[in-house]
Structure 1
Amino acid sequence: MGILTKKDLKLITDPLADNNPITVQVLGICSALAVTAQLKASIVMAISVMFVLAAGNVVISSMRNIIPPKIRIIVQLVIAATLVIIVDQVLKAYSYNLSKQLSVFVGLIITNCIIMGRFEAFALANTPWKSFLDGIGNAAGYGIILVIVAFFRELLGSGSVLGFKVLGNPIEKTGVYAYGYENNGFMLLAPMALITLGVIIWVQRSRNSSLIEEN
């Protein structure tokens, strides 16, 4: 018997697609729109949320029997804030420019609906191990959507991926620019992030509906 049972695996795989926190539950939309102009920033945000959610779930689950019900939200906020401060300080120490780019959005992880939702709905009712897996799964589902949106926004808006020019040089007119292609600056604006995310949500929900009809 492996370390992970089928139920354990489902905690990780279910949020990746069938119950994705962004495309199905429609949570964490704000950061999905705000930080996806560049792929690198989106990856860092996804990793940050994964750390906060997984670690926070474990702490909440470990304390679930001693947290007074009347102050559980306050306790959850304090734990989330502590973990976010750790993330913020690490970013400032090792990647200051990226920390400035993410700006207040790292701090807003504290109030991310996915974070508080999993604390309240799962960690308070399950063991630390299951809560850890739930945190990893939901954060990964959140991160996948961020990465997909950021990939297309940076590629079509800047002609680059992770800062590397992959479509050619727009000044020297090499690559696809030699054929008259121009970067779509609109892709770097928030409205296009919303449209891109809307398309992904539509595809996800259409897929889920088709699976339900087949079953």
Structure 2
Amino acid sequence: MMNMQQFREIARNGLWKQNTGLAQLLGLCPILAISTSMVNAVSLGLATLLVMALSNLAVATLRNFIPYEIRIPVFVLIIAALVTVVDLSFNAYLHSLYLVLGIFIPLIVTNCIVLARVEAYAAKNDPLSSTVDAVMMGCGLVWVLALLGGLRELLGSGTLFAGIEMIIPDASALSVFGDDYPGFLVAILPPGAFFALGCLIAAYNAINTRRAARLQARPPAAEPAPAGSPAEAGAGA
């Protein structure tokens, strides 16, 4: 059974320390291509999270029955079956969003984030911790996509949640800078994706550097004096 310390470590790794978008730099193709708006980015992130969670659960449950020599084809087959389910579900229930995301939902099969977690974690651990690991890694990807998509959409068109009506019919986008905002076209073009992601990675590294410097500057905790030492004897006198 997974204890609270293990849960915290898995959550810390997935959300920050080993973040797939900022630290491991995996799955950059969908991250950069679909993050033109927050709705598109978060939708693809949630679809990836769902596939990761189900594939990790399936592989962790069946890992003792999968021969080591053919594990990669079996993992890809499991992921492809789950992606097909997600793809058909988007087509049936979120058809407008499905048309926008296009080929990027089927391409989750080849997303190295999913296969990396299956191979590195799910194939070696129990189903519960493997599922939690996938969910936390997916949440780390979702918040990076949300921030990247929101930043690009805000700078590029001055709105937030554009396309939300594809998910919630009565909702509408939020115009932050007003209708007369001219827009910053580079932000929603491919070069803007690289610039925005580079800024996020730079901020991520700066935060980690400051945190490490703060920990090094912290004075070490005083160690208790051993029993029978002169300090302890003086205190007793």
TM-score by length of 2: 0.82
Listed as ranges, the gaps of 5+ residues in structure 2 are 163-172, 216-237
Structure 1 position 100, deviation (Å): 1.1
**Alignment partner of 1:168 out of 178, 197, 204:** 178
Structure 1 position 4, deviation (Å): 5.6
Counterpart-to-counterpart distance in 1, 2:35 and 2:3:
33
Counterpart-to-counterpart distance in 1, 2:11 and 2:114:
15
Aligned-residue sequence identity (percent) comes to: 31
Counterpart-to-counterpart distance in 1, 2:139 and 2:40:
15
Match of 2:218?
Answer: none
Match of 1:156?
Answer: 155
Matched, 1:51 2:57: no
Counterpart-to-counterpart distance in 2, 1:132 and 1:207:
28
Listed as ranges, the gaps of 5+ residues in structure 1 are 171-176
Q: Deviations over 1:142-179 (max 9, x none)?
A: 11111001001111111111121222112xxxxxx4xx
Q: What SS class does the counterpart of residue 35 from structure 2 fall into?
A: coil
Structure 1 position 96, deviation (Å): 1.2
Q: Deviations over 1:52-86 (max 9, x none)?
A: 00110010000111101111011110111111111
Residue 198 of structure 1 aligns with an amino acid whose one-letter code is: G
Counterpart-to-counterpart distance in 1, 2:51 and 2:11:
16
Spell out the pairing of 1:1-215 with structure 2 (5 A cutoff): 5-163=4-162, 164=173, 165-170=175-180, 177=181, 182-215=182-215
Counterpart-to-counterpart distance in 2, 1:198 and 1:78:
34
Counterpart-to-counterpart distance in 2, 1:88 and 1:66:
28
RMSD of equivalent CA atoms: 1.3
Q: Deviations over 1:16-70 (max 9, x none)?
A: 1122111111111111101000111111111101100011001000011110111
Counterpart-to-counterpart distance in 2, 1:123 and 1:199:
32
Q: When the two structures are aligned, how many residues end up with a matched partner?
A: 203
Counterpart-to-counterpart distance in 1, 2:142 and 2:27:
10
Counterpart-to-counterpart distance in 1, 2:72 and 2:129:
21
| Structure of greater relative contact order (alpha carbons < 8 Å, 6+ residues apart) | 1
Residue 10 of structure 1 aligns with an amino acid whose one-letter code is: E
Q: Deviations over 1:112-141 (max 9, x none)?
A: 111010000000110000000000010111
Residue 159 of structure 2 aligns with an amino acid whose one-letter code is: S
Counterpart-to-counterpart distance in 2, 1:55 and 1:183:
40
Q: What SS class does the counterpart of residue 17 from structure 1 fall into?
A: helix
Counterpart-to-counterpart distance in 1, 2:212 and 2:110:
33
Residue 82 of structure 1 aligns with an amino acid whose one-letter code is: A
Counterpart-to-counterpart distance in 1, 2:26 and 2:151:
21
Rg larger in 1 or in 2?
A: 2
Counterpart-to-counterpart distance in 1, 2:209 and 2:124:
30
Counterpart-to-counterpart distance in 2, 1:211 and 1:184:
34
Q: What SS class does the counterpart of residue 73 from structure 1 fall into?
A: helix
Structure 1 position 10, deviation (Å): 2.1
Counterpart-to-counterpart distance in 2, 1:208 and 1:15:
15
